[in-house]
Amino acid sequence: MIEDRDEIIKPATQTERNKVLLDILTKRPYGTFNVLKDVLKESDPYNTDVQELVSRMQCIESCDESISCHDIIFHKHIVQLQKNYMKFVHDVDSKTDIADYLYEKSVINTEEKEEVCSSSITRHESNRILYSKLFRKGKDAYTHLVKALRHGQYEDIAFEMENTQVSEHEIQLFQIGMKKLQEREKERDFHAIQTKLEDLTRTHDEVIPKNILEQFERRLKQWKEDDKMYFSTAAEKPVMTSILTENCVAIVGNSGTGKTFLSHHVSLMMMDQGYIIIPCESPGDVRQWFKHGRKTLFVFDDVCGRYTLNQQIFNEWKQRREHMESLLEDNCCKIMFTCRLDVYKEEQFSSLSIFKTCHIDLSSQELRLSAAERFEIAKMYFGENANKVTELSEKYDFFPLLCSLYHKQKFQKHINISNFFSNPFEVFQSELENLYREGDAGKMKYCSLVLCVMFNNTLKEENFSIKFKKGGPLIEDLLDKCELSIETSMERLRKSLKTLAGTYIVKEDGTYKIIHDKLFDFLAKYFGEKMIQLFIDYVKTGFIRERFICETEDNMDTDIEFAIRIPDNEINRYIKRLVMDWDNGFVDNVFDNRNMNSSTFKKKFINKLNKLDQSKQEELACKHDIKSKDIALGGSCYVGSVDLVRWLISRKSDINYCKEDGCFPLFWASQEGHINVVEELLQQSAEVNQYNNNGVSSLHIASQNGHVHVVKELLKYSAEVNQCNFNGVSPLYIASQDGHVDVVKVLLQHSAHVNQCMINGVSPLWQASQNGHVDVVKELLQHLAEVNRCDEDGYSPLYIASQEGHVEVVNELLQNSTEVNQCANNDTSPLWIASQNGHVHVVKCLLKYSADVNVCINNSITPLLIACYYNRREVVHELLKCNDVDIDVCDSDGSSAIYIASQQGHVDVIKELLQHAAKVNKCKNNGASPLYIASEIGHVNVVKELLQHSATVTLCDNDSVSPLYIASQNGNVDVVIELLKHSAELNLCDNNGVSPLSIACQEGHVNVVQKLLKHSADVNLCDNDGISPLTIASQNGHVDVVKELLQHSADVKQCDNDVDSPL
């Protein structure tokens, strides 16, 4: 049995597996051992162990199986599944259409589908897993499996499974096996319960320490408190739906649009779904708190930086990417994060595929707040004054934030609503100025607020400690700037800061923060420009990197919201600070600084460097970043600063230095397309064929990104044109894949192997054809690319182009003598796949080159049949134009084109077929006609069309079941009405003498019963067992049907053959 197999394969060694197998077989009847003996004989006819096993079998041959099996419920389909196990496992590919069909029909759930379709297991193992799951799911699962096999073009296997004969002996073996299995499961369950009880004594505390849990709980408590002011918007549903179905969801939008508020609300809803919520600060939190099988939602706010893309955080995500992807394969693990829209749109962000899986944009036209939603939010905060607010609400997309800030600041006491919503930041500026004028108490609050900003929103309790020495000069200078005594204690500052809680400040886990990043942006600019020297000297290095911009000639037009402008007279101070950060190991922050994009600034920066001692210059050039371990040369090559690159190389910076991920200066410059930097590096003898940890060379990455001038320069310095990465991808392949035709030309001119394939047999021509890059295809063909070279699945370039609908590529390949009827390993042709996918222009092109219109896959499904199945009316029209098309061709179970279209309900396709004289009464092997199948499923429009074209209304299947009967059975009343209009025989019975009225009564379809009786159906017509419609309705408890029958004079005393009456 399948369950036995699951038990047999669990042990680690073959000896243990053999023992389990023999233990199971020794408790089965002798016939089972005969099967084992035959199998062993076939596998090794000279195996002496077989004789020993045979003798052991003979010892128990006379033993009677005395197990009572009356409590085992037997279903024939279970044995049918069992007997077709080998054929299914070895001949089917469950990972494609089979699993999709079963998932769509809710036979398997999302987790089961992912397990079956996992890329880490073989096709055979996938089939075994699926079969094992279906084996336990009941008859409906079996029925859907048969349909799935037909859907996936495995008609022969479906037919054989349905028609598998089951003997009494096999039934007995199955029942005995089930009984033994139940006994073993009871024993296992006992041990499992013991283990479970032990597990239940432990909680997730063993993974998350108690103090950390308390921090999480405090945050969640605050989220719940804030959630009282939550208002549901259109964005809530897609976010909730996505986080339930996806493992990683991004909530993006402009600052202040409610991203964080929404993520917290959804997180609280996920708690109700049984998830543990973990508020996270860094990617390492996921790894630290992840536990396999535990439903956990990791929540990040501003995942890669609040104001700009934080390169260090981004690099940490990148380094952990593969590990994160593996964690997310556990369906219990989910990540939800917020991100500013401009950060999310950064080109680098696209390289993190998990971040791009699913995103919801709150700033999009579809999800931005509607007028009605704005009004409802305003009502929550302003009551009867909501109308005044909503009139001004369109001015800013951060309307929810403005409402919250106005409410928290208690502005309603002294600030006019219209003034605030017209110029909110002017109001805040005025409030800060007023605060400063309130004497020492006001200045203390003002000073503490500046301190929070200077610590880049991470001011901790420990920073107010007497032991905090680093803050000495900063605190003294800040107090002086705020006209306070330098003797002012840190405790007074802390108390002043606490008075701002709820208006400007929030405290989370011992850290003081500005209540919203939008307000923080404003405060950073306001204080930063007011106290620019203080800020340049003392703010954190990340703040220096992203929030300052120099007013140089080539930077004046740069418009960055809330950027702190550095006047010309302070640039030297700013550069001095950068050099200090560099010396302290913040290398990445210095060379990722936004001002490095200004050539004027870079010149001033280099001039400053040249004034340092030579030894200091060389020390800086070799300095490693304290986190990434990169050197300045790498960052300079990445941003494309050739002047800095020259300076660093001349100061003995390692030109071939590799980071942990294997990336190096020439790689960065090649990736970004900085040709001047590439030229400089190559002239200084950089290693041209160096590659990273994935085997990707500089030529490869330049080819991938389409940097043709870089490609030419690398080749000039003897870059290996055919050097592949560790997946077998060559530069020519990757350039062809991405459509960089100029790069392709250059590579081919330098003798790139035009037919060099990946490990899966995919060639550059194949990949270009799949992606529709016709110019690349032409270039490859001119260099004698093998036009019929297939991948490991037998798909040719023409096939894949036809599948994707790239008609220009198809035409180009056909002009170059490609084989138009070349089939894949699954026997499908280019015309077949184009017909399935509805690419009518491709179909026309293929037919023009004499594609075989009747070519079939192994279960006799032609292009016409598959086009009818998928409702490709235009394709059907083109195929029917061909003189040699067989319009009445059938698949292996006798389904014709018109039958398939009727089954699927495709009325337009049916019209097309009937216009070309398709046989309207062409029946399937089981005798079912197109009208029959349409009536069974309930496609009333199809029924009408068929009847208008003289479909025989009384044509029955092999069991004498008529269209009216099957429509009545399924309760399709509209179909019943239509059939009766066309003189369907009311009393036409099946082989068991059951009439349409009787079967409708049995199923309880009172509306059908009414229609049949209205048309004078025989109310007392009995089946072969003498059972009347009234008897069967009474037996099944359909009281409405019984009433209807009695109103039409049903005989209440009429008895069946066993003398049972309705009563």
Distance CA 935, CA 902 (A): 9
Asked if 343 and 402 sit in the same domain, the reply is no
SS3 at position 68: coil
CA-nearest of 680, 751, 743 to 720 is: 751
Distance CA 754, CA 743 (A): 13
Q: Does 88 have pLDDT greater than 90?
A: no
Rounded mean pLDDT, 398-416: 72
Asked if 125 and 63 sit in the same domain, the reply is yes
* Among 173-177, 388-392, 597-601, 909-913, the least confident range: 173-177
Domain boundary among 670, 687, 704: 687
Position 843 confidence tier, pLDDT thresholds 50, 70, 90: very high
Q: Does 199 have pLDDT greater than 70?
A: no
Asked if 309 and 412 sit in the same domain, the reply is no
Asked if 399 and 301 sit in the same domain, the reply is no
Distance CA 33, CA 22 (A): 9
Position 164 confidence tier, pLDDT thresholds 50, 70, 90: confident
Q: Does 71 have pLDDT greater than 50?
A: no
Name which residue leads in pLDDT, 599 or 974.
974
| Paired tokens of 272 | 């109700």
- Predicted pLDDT of residue 35: 58
DSSP assignment, residue 97? I
- Predicted pLDDT of residue 125: 78
Asked if 493 and 614 sit in the same domain, the reply is no
pLDDT more than 70, % of the chain: 84
Asked if 391 and 362 sit in the same domain, the reply is no
* Among 151-165, 357-371, 642-656, the least confident range: 151-165
CA-nearest of 928, 922, 988 to 954 is: 988
Asked if 21 and 76 sit in the same domain, the reply is yes
Position 57 confidence tier, pLDDT thresholds 50, 70, 90: very low
Q: What is the CATH number of the domain that holds 232?
A: 3.40.50.300
Integer CA distances (angstroms), 29 to 20, 73, 78, 180, 229, in order: 17, 20, 19, 12, 70
pTM of the model: 0.66
- Predicted pLDDT of residue 132: 78
Highest mean pLDDT among 62-71, 511-520, 575-584: 575-584
Asked if 332 and 461 sit in the same domain, the reply is no
Assess if residue 856 is contained within a domain. no
Position 69 confidence tier, pLDDT thresholds 50, 70, 90: very low
CA-nearest of 807, 821, 816, 819 to 774 is: 807
Distance CA 509, CA 936 (A): 65
Distance CA 727, CA 941 (A): 53
Asked if 709 and 731 sit in the same domain, the reply is yes
Asked if 26 and 165 sit in the same domain, the reply is yes
Assess if residue 290 is contained within a domain. yes
User: Residue 931: beta bridge partners?
Assistant: none
Domain boundary among 672, 687, 702: 687
Distance CA 528, CA 540 (A): 12
* Among 210-224, 310-324, 503-517, 546-560, the least confident range: 546-560
SS3 at position 982: coil
> 1013-1052: per-residue pLDDT in tens?
999 999 999 999 899 999 999 988 999 999 999 999 888 8
CB atoms within 10 A of CB 165: 9
Position 20 confidence tier, pLDDT thresholds 50, 70, 90: low
Assess if residue 541 is contained within a domain. no
Contact 866, 837 (CB under 8 A): no
Distance CA 961, CA 972 (A): 15
Contact 902, 867 (CB under 8 A): no
Contact 83, 164 (CB under 8 A): yes
Query: Integer distance in angstroms from the first to the last C-alpha of the chain?
Result: 46
Rounded mean pLDDT, 905-934: 95
CB atoms within 10 A of CB 241: 13
Q: What is the CATH number of the domain that holds 726?
A: 1.25.40.20
Q: Does 899 have pLDDT greater than 90?
A: yes
Position 516 confidence tier, pLDDT thresholds 50, 70, 90: confident
Assess if residue 661 is contained within a domain. yes
> 944-955: per-residue pLDDT in tens?
999 999 999 999
Assess if residue 566 is contained within a domain. no
> 671-689: per-residue pLDDT in tens?
999 999 999 999 999 999 9
Asked if 136 and 280 sit in the same domain, the reply is no
Contact 77, 123 (CB under 8 A): no
Assess if residue 1016 is contained within a domain. no
Assess if residue 422 is contained within a domain. yes
Rounded mean pLDDT, 850-864: 86
Asked if 146 and 26 sit in the same domain, the reply is yes
Contact 863, 855 (CB under 8 A): yes
Position 400 confidence tier, pLDDT thresholds 50, 70, 90: confident
Assess if residue 862 is contained within a domain. no
Range of the domain at 709: 688-753
Contact 758, 766 (CB under 8 A): no
- Predicted pLDDT of residue 196: 40
| Paired tokens of 457 | 């929103």
The three-state (H, E, C) secondary structure of 105-148, written as one string:
CCCCCHHHHHHHCCCCCCHHHHHHHHHHHHHCCCHHHHHHHHHH
Name which residue leads in pLDDT, 743 or 235.
743
Position 193 confidence tier, pLDDT thresholds 50, 70, 90: very low
Position 32 confidence tier, pLDDT thresholds 50, 70, 90: low
Name which residue leads in pLDDT, 878 or 233.
878
Domain boundary among 753, 778, 802: 753
- Predicted pLDDT of residue 1042: 94
Distance CA 494, CA 48 (A): 87
Torsion of CA 874, 875, 878, 880, to 10 degrees: -110
- Predicted pLDDT of residue 195: 44
Average pLDDT, the chain: 84
Distance CA 723, CA 704 (A): 13
Q: For the chain, how many structural domains are there in total?
A: 5
CB atoms within 10 A of CB 44: 10
| Paired tokens of 1039 | 């009281």
Rounded mean pLDDT, 758-764: 91
